[in-house]
Structure 1
Amino acid sequence: METVSNSGHDLPFLPGYSFNDPTKTTFPRSQTLGYRNGYACSVLPVGASKECLHVNQLFQEMKNKKPTPTYEESKQVPPSEFVPAHVAFDKKVFLESQGIELNPPEEMALDPYTELRKNPPRMFVTPSDFDQFKQFLTFDKKVLRFYAIWDDTDRMFGETRNYIILYYLADDTVEVREVHERNDGRDPFPVLVKRQRLPKILVENSKSFPRCVLEVSDQDVQEWYTAKDFAVGKPVTMLGRTFFIYDCDKFTRDFCRDKFGLPEFPTIDVSKKPPPVIKQELPPYNGFGLIEDSAQNCFALIPKPPRKDIIKMLMGDNKVLRYRAVLESPIPEDKGRHFIFSYFLATDMVSIFEPPVRNSGFFGGKFLTKTKIAKPGSSLDKPSFYGPGDFYIGALIEVFGHRFIIQDADEYVLKYLESHADKYPQSTILSLKNHFSKPKSKTEESDSAPTPENVEMETVIKHIQERFKNCISLLEGPVYEAFQVLDKENTGSVDREKFCGVCKNFNIPVGDFLINELIRLCSSDKGKINYNNFIKAFS
């Protein structure tokens, strides 16, 4: 059994037989790591002097101690190389210290202006025999004037502009001026290229030369523009813009002929041709109103009424040609219908009136208001309307899908056409003459024999028409329509009170002797008045 020496007493190494040495006063520890309160912590070692030993203390002592040779003199340590602060803290030094490799330094780009300012090597150039001073004295105030255009119509919103190219013979300079017109919408800055020498061909090495910064020198230009490069009919490209020369002045023509032996320059016509005229087509007629009136909506945003022939209106005022026609229709009920055509010479308009017939099944009255009737097949550009020459006996008149046949006319129609025989066809006049020259049969004469009452009524109507001729045409339609509204049974007669009420509404002078006499002739024994006979005085 092992024994442990404890304070000089050898006791067996058994549990309970381990005692601390009471004579021991220092307790050095062999480790520097331990645990305290469950956390790992470092503890500095304790030396024999009961002082804590620092970790780097021995290293610092060994570093500061310089070795000394035993048998020879000590050598001096070479001083370290001095490094300035701006180098020691440079970005490259820092990056290289961190292990980052950088590219080698590059040379700085040359400045064209700085290089030009350097003293160039001396070059010996043979002077030219050309005397610029002599050229100035000879050609001073002599300028070649060329007229050119720049066509930019290939681009979007491009246009053609006029320019004047001035070539100064005194110093071989060129100036380009733009020709401005009044109200052309451009600022009044005529100079496009100021007076300067223009290069024609540049040397190959000068393509990358910054001409926007420095002026072009003679070393950068292989050939300059001269007077030979400008000629009529020849395009010229200057500073990236191509001009076409189409004319020049008289001095320029004489100079080019005498100096260069060129023939006479012809003037080239560069005027812009007008665009083709687009024919304006009118839309199809919709049937409302007159064709001339409806067409005004296609000519202007705010339509205006068509112009009227004032002379014709004055000459044809109150002149009306009347015709009697029948309706051509496959419907049996339409065969007995008669119509009165009224042709107004002042406006070339036609109105159609259907006389009311009792127990016919038709109300009668106004069939068509005053309007122009176009012939079938007429175009909208040049419409052809019916005229007095088209209304002959037996003529077929087509009115908006209805077909009428002319059977009779007033004698005034024949008199009017004969007085203006040069304006109307002779066939129309001849048909009316033959119609009025036919003898009537005995039955027609007996049927048409006037009675005393009819003669008296016709006389009164004639006097009324002569007396109230200015307002007769205005009362025909409205008065008849008012009577029809009151005559609900369509008997052709109304009561005396209703009759007087209508006359009062239309300001018909009932108290007048002629009007009162006509009312008496139209009255019946039952106290009613036949308004059909009364309306004849206003038709």
Structure 2
Amino acid sequence: MNSKLPFLPGNQHFDFAKSNYHRSHTLGFNNGYAVQKKPDLDTGGSPLQTNQIHELISVNNYNPQLYYGQSKPAPPQPFMPSFVALDKKVLSFKAWFKETVAESPNENYRIRKVQIYYYLEDGTMVVNEPVVANSGLNQGKMIKRQKIPKNNEGGSYTWKDLNNGRNINCFGRVFHIYDCDAWTTEYLESEGIEVNPAEQCPDDPYIMSRETSDVMKSKSFINPPSNHLESLKRFLDLDRKVLRFFCIGDDQRASSKERRKFILHYYLVNDTVEVREVHTKNDGHDPFSVLISRQRIPKNRNSVDSNFPSIVLELTENEIHDYFSPKDFAIGRTILLYNRPFLIYDCDDFTKAFYWKNYGLTDFTPYSEELHHRKKYTGYGTLEDSLQSVEKLVLEPPKKDLIKMMNWDGVVLRYEAKMEAMKSEFTRRFIISYRLADDTITIYEPPVKNSGIQGGKFLEKSRVAKPGSTTDRPVYYGPQDFYVGAVIDVFRHRFIITGADDFAIKFMESRSNIFNSKSLLAHNFIP
């Protein structure tokens, strides 16, 4: 077909032998998506010329609305209120204000930085001051979210009044805006407002002086003195290591005679002491836990020079040199902290490990609070009988070891002894009888004619405590303490054992598990 001839009858020539009238494929799929491509073959598979391709493209892109207009008017856009369109759209500005500081030798004024937020949805503002570490100021939200009045006529600030380099007066305090974020700049420019260039915030003189002092301290740390290195090593080794003691306020001089429990903390890093009170439910005391704040406590606060003017000056380390140390604390010991006695009755596991490692202590038996309640032993009667009158209202005889009495009934060990440091012309001889059934001792002095000393019973049957033992924790003499050469202290009378009878020697040799090798060795050399 000749496309150059006019489209008139008689000018068109067709191939009557043609039987294929298939149209070329213009739609396909690529990665699962439908893709349209330009036709390259005409109907029947004949080549498609260039002008026909442009005609097909123009027909596909034909839009009658561009030529004749819309047949129907377009529907209006849905209405959206301003609080919905401007929801969560906030303008952010950076500002500062100057605060006058009165009666301070270090500064005359402060420069405080704030953040101003303007909420477009309702025209409210918030002024927030970022928190600065160790500033000593109450920072945070300075002005809560509200409309800030602009003048006395009832107007309030709008977003058109906020720009870099402007001052705004918020309740008598003038804020100078010096910068804003990128979204705020873009929004103001879209609304036709020219944003002023950002300014530099002035420095706070007091903050600058602090930074200078910190730099000087860091420079001095490069070559620190020897004492500083020692304190640094002590801090690294002993930081957060605290000795913990459980105490009782043992103030018998108080009118109430009340015994209150406390916890004493000793900080090893700087030798400071803290006392905290242990409160219980309905104890009737104010809920203040700290009785003595953390500080170094002197052993004797009054041991200063008599010429020191204590009325006008405070005591310092130059006047007091003796402070409490870990060696001053022990279970069962009463310490005075500012003239207030505290009885230590127990400690925690870390404290026990510390004293075992540094001082070699192994006895950490808790101090019985009941023993401390008891009155002192008067010396009348035995200690067991006296305790019965304290512990029980109806007196009962003290309990005895019946198994021991049945096994060792009638077994008595006899020793010969002499009294030490006697200034008489002759040596006084004694016979000490030890009963294994109840661990009692009897001392008898044989009478000597013309000696001037009346013999007979020197000590009735009784249990004898060793020297140095207390009435709270008495330690009595046992069978292993009696051997030739041993010194027995009986109520401030010292006896030296010089011999033993045959029964005592054979008894000790037959029972080597009870008597130590020292006792057996001494008895083997009896003259």
Q: Could you tell me the TM-score, scaled by structure 2's length? A: 0.30
Structure with bigger gyration radius: 1
Which one has the bigger strand percentage? 2
Greater share of residues in helix: 1
TM-score under structure 1 length normalisation: 0.29
